[in-house]
């Protein structure tokens, strides 16, 4: 009997704008070769249009899939407590507990996958039927089932970001390295005196923006 394989990955851990999206994809072991033949791989190696195309094919092929959206305020709370990795482990454990796979391949967000594995194991409810857990950095590049999860997570996050742009206008990629994103944040804060609810407040980027704005006001006053 073919084993049920779960792949888990996230999209949007690093941006200053929008949620983090965590996805789990379950497939019978003998289906994974089919996903590989379709061209399923790490979402970062694919164009947006190819991700959307593969996303539809993945949803049709796999046994089950699920997505969890982690809102900016929940991320802020975890960052304040220094527990962002634990927050991800909690969400990934929800998917493992829901799907009850035989094996789960997980893309580890931590630079210490062994520590993340221990944390994840502590959050699995059924200790007697603990799935085999493979927790590695860059698992989305190594395992097709994790690549499938990365694609669905990225497609969903892209949909969310596009819906934000309808409301707020173009703000670039939402990453702190993007000059268009920084210009949007500075402009919005100057106009409104606060950041919109789609923004992660605890990101260092925003603290730097506030410091620049306050310094310019002080220089003007002096």
Alpha-carbon span 222 to 205, nearest angstrom:
26
pLDDT per residue of the chain (222 residues) written in tens, 0 to 9: 689 999 999 999 999 999 999 999 999 998 999 999 999 998 999 999 999 999 999 999 999 999 999 999 999 999 999 999 999 999 999 999 999 999 999 999 999 999 999 999 999 999 888 999 999 999 999 999 999 999 999 999 999 999 999 999 999 999 989 999 999 999 999 899 999 999 999 988 888 888 877 665 545 444
Residue 17: DSSP 8-state:
B
Say yes or no: domain 168-221 is CATH 3.40.50.300.
no
Contact (CB, 8 A) for 48 and 144: no
Question: Domain extents for the chain?
Answer: 4-164, 168-221
Q: Label residue 59 left, alpha or beta by phi (over 0 means left) and psi (-120 to 50 means alpha).
A: alpha
DSSP labels, 141-152:
HH-HHHHHHHHH
DSSP state of 1: -
The label of the residue with tokens 């220089």 reads 219
In CATH, what class is 4-164?
A: alpha beta
């Amino acid at each position: 009997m073919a084993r049920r394989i779960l792949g888990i990955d996230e999209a949007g851990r690093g941006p200053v704008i929008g949620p983090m999206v965590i996805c789990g994809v379950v497939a019978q072991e003998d289906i994974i070769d089919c996903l590989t033949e379709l061209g399923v791989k790490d979402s970062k190696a694919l164009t947006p249009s190819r991700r959307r195309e593969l996303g539809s094919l993945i949803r049709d092929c796999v046994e089950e899939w699920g997505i969890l959206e982690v809102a900016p305020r929940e991320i802020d709370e975890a960052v304040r407590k220094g527990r962002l990795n634990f927050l991800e482990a909690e969400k990934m454990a929800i998917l493992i507990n829901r799907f009850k796979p035989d094996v789960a391949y997980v893309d580890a967000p931590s630079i210490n996958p062994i520590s993340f594995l221990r944390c994840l194991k502590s959050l699995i409810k059924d200790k007697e039927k603990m799935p085999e857990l493979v927790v590695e950095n860059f698992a989305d590049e190594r395992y097709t089932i994790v690549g499938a999860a990365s694609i669905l997570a990225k497609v969903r996050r892209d949909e969310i970001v596009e819906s934000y742009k309808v409301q707020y206008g173009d703000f670039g990629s939402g990453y702190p390295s993007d000059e268009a994103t920084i210009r949007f944040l500075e402009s919005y804060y100057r106009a409104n005196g606060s950041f919109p609810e789609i923004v992660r407040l605890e990101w260092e980027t925003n603290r730097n923006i506030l410091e620049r704005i306050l310094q310019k006001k002080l220089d003007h006053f002096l």
